[in-house]
Copies of this chain bind each other. A is one copy, B any other.
Amino acid sequence: MRALLLVAHGSRRTESNEEVRDLTEQLRGRAGGRFGWVGHAFLELAQPSIPEAVAEAAVAGAREVLVLPYFLAAGRHVVKDIPDEVAIALREHPEVSVRVAPYLGAMAGVSDLLLDTALAHSPQAG
């Protein structure tokens, strides 16, 4: 079974972490049967961590986990911290494979999303 794991930075603001949980709920609702487990993890300041979330997915039966980094730029968190946390998860759960997708800011559709949103909020420009 395949799992989808949205990974965000984590914030002292509980509302920001709540936004990540709400987005995960949306993903879960839309994933249908294509991902058997959908969850989230944080790098800092909130739980669960990536290893904790991968453990939960593994217990649920996941054998492949796709990590979606919810980050805007290729900073240290994307380049080093997420791979480091993924490595820990892999050591603890060798039965699972983990793949990391591009981070949000590098996703092919982000400029389309921005432009579509701009047009929707500026109707006469459409």
Q: Note all chain B residues with C-beta closer than 8 A to A64.
A: 122
- In the assembled complex, A125 has its CB within 8 A of some CB on chain B: yes
Contact indicator B118/A113 (Cβ below 8 Å): no
Once the chains are docked, how many angstroms separate the CA of A112 from the CA of B126?
Answer: 21
Number of identical protomers: 2
Once the chains are docked, how many angstroms separate the CA of A26 from the CA of B31?
Answer: 29
User: Assuming A35-B125, A121-B66, A125-B34, is B6 touching A114 (CB within 8 A)?
Assistant: yes
A108-120: CB near B (< 8 Å → 1, else 0) gives: 1111111111111
Contact indicator B101/A23 (Cβ below 8 Å): no
- In the assembled complex, A95 has its CB within 8 A of some CB on chain B: no
Once the chains are docked, how many angstroms separate the CA of A8 from the CA of B122?
Answer: 20
